[in-house]
Amino acid sequence: MTLKKTRYTTDGYKLSVGYILWWLNMVMGMKIQGRYMFVDRNGTHYPDGFADRLKDKFVENEELPARPEIASYLAEKYPFLPDEYIKWYDRVFYFDSSQIDLSQKGGDLRIFYEGPIHTVKHHEIISLFDISNLTTKVFGYKPESNWQDRIHHDAKALKEKGVTHSHGGGRRALSRDHHDEVLGILQKYKKGVGDKGGFFGESFIDMAWAHGLPIMGTMGHEYPMTCAGVWGVENANKKAREIWLNMYGKNLGYWLDDTWGTEWSDMDMTKDEARKFKGSRHDSWPFEWYVDQKLGMYKRLGIDSREKEIITSEGMKTLKDIIHTVEYRAGEFKSAALLGKYWSNPFAYNIVNKLVAVKVGDGPWKDVCKISNDMSKAIN
């Protein structure tokens, strides 16, 4: 039976970034507030009553109980998260629906989330999960015929070609049942000892627990964006890297560099920082451009790129695209992929919740933005 929604129906990075924001507010007393906004890049025309049904889902989330067995699994897989924080998330935190401003005008869905950033941030993923599942239901979307055969074929091909990959599409999966069945198939092609490639892990904490998989996730754009709201955009990348390395070191050593463009981030990254991070996550730009940029940075800094990893999470559309990630400049870096819609939603719901403003204490709200390497992903 498929695992029902839990308070851990969220990505691993929400807890890694979440701990830092919790530490800034609860330990350092910074009183940082955040405002998030829902964006539908597809321009979906939602049917009448969609917002009312969605509101019921948001209210249900308030009652999701503690799950100590999943908390224990999280503590095992993420030993760098303090027990105090995991206990807080499991036993104290709840999804406060009063932080959500939800309305619908015609077919347009309008959602804002506002509150202390260490709590309001956790609405991001579970609300996208609710929107995606409800969208599938009301529009009657179904997976393509013989979809299981395609996943068997492609997962086998990726393992044979030496592609290490994980699933990261839980927030926008076609449905929870579909997500669960996809993982069941992918596990038949797991990366074993001595294998060059294969299926490796899952980003949703509760689904990783249910299937006995590593929990994948590092950081999201909201983290450097929060730093921009607190310390200024000119200091944000540097401050974000400093805090991250102090908190996690190489335990979660992958830098997300494209919040304001990879080139800008690379210009002020020091050799010491680049040495301490295991690698970076490719989230925008054509893959070849990104690889050329990163390998150029490592060469400029005098660092052996063969020891560095590039994890691509930029939506790969074809099997050929994914295999190309281990063929391009092979041997010059370590490659891995985080795949979402490719496995679990052929309709590719292009929906996001993005941080749009930050305030500290009684200070003014400050708009924050993500520019990315791809202007179609820019949010302000």
CA separation for the pair 100, 110 (Å, rounded): 10
Question: In the chain, where are the structural domains located?
Answer: 12-141+350-377, 147-344
pLDDT of 210 > 50? The answer is: yes
Q: Would you give the end-to-end CA distance of the chain in angstroms? A: 41
Q: At what angle do helices 222-231 and 233-248 cross, to 10 degrees?
A: 120
Query: How far apart are alpha carbons 127 and 149 in whole angstroms?
Result: 31
Place of tokens 């520019």: 371
CB 179 within 8 A of CB 358: no
Distances (CA, A) of 200 to 152, 162, 237, 272, 277: 15, 12, 29, 29, 21
Residue-wise pLDDT for 215-237, tens only, equals 999 899 999 999 999 999 999 99
Residue 380 pLDDT class (50, 70, 90 cuts): very low
Question: Using DSSP, how many helices (H) and how many strands (E) does the chain show?
Answer: 16, 11
Distance CA 95, CA 89 (A): 10
Say which CATH class 147-344 falls into.
alpha beta
- Residue 198 pairs in a beta bridge with 164
What per-residue confidence (pLDDT) applies to 379?
56
257 has a pLDDT exceeding 50: yes
- Closest alpha carbon to 74 in 55, 90, 62: 90
Percent of the chain with pLDDT over 70: 98
How far, in Å, CA of 50 to CA of 107, rounded?
9
Please tell me if the domain spanning 12-141+350-377 has the same topology as the one spanning 147-344. yes
Report phi then psi at 48, rounded to 5: -55, 140
The sign of the dihedral angle between the CA atoms of 125, 123, 279, 285 is: positive
Instruction: Give yes or no for a contact between 284 and 259, defined as CB atoms under 8 angstroms apart.
Output: no
Burial of 174-210, coded b for 16+ CB within 10 Å and e otherwise, reads: bbbebbbbbbebbeebebeeeeebbbbbbbbbbbbbb
Q: How far is CA 172 from CA 8, 130, 236, 250, 265, in A?
A: 15, 9, 29, 29, 29
Confidence tier at 376 by pLDDT (50, 70, 90): low
| Structure token digits, residue 117 | 């950033």
Residue-level pLDDT at 10: 99
Collapsed DSSP state (helix, strand, coil) of residue 328: coil
User: What distances in angstroms separate CA 315 from CA 105, 135, 215, 272, one per listed residue?
Assistant: 30, 20, 20, 31
User: Among the CATH numbers 3.40.190.10, 3.30.70.2750, 3.40.50.720, 3.20.140.10, which is that of 12-141+350-377?
Assistant: 3.20.140.10
- 114 has pLDDT over 80: yes
DSSP string, 123-134: HHHHHHHHHHHH
- Integer CA distances (angstroms), 186 to 153, 177, 322, in order: 10, 14, 15
From 94-98, 253-257, 312-316, the region with the lowest mean pLDDT? 312-316
Q: What is the pLDDT of residues 124-168, one digit of tens each?
A: 999 999 999 999 999 999 999 999 999 999 999 999 999 999 999
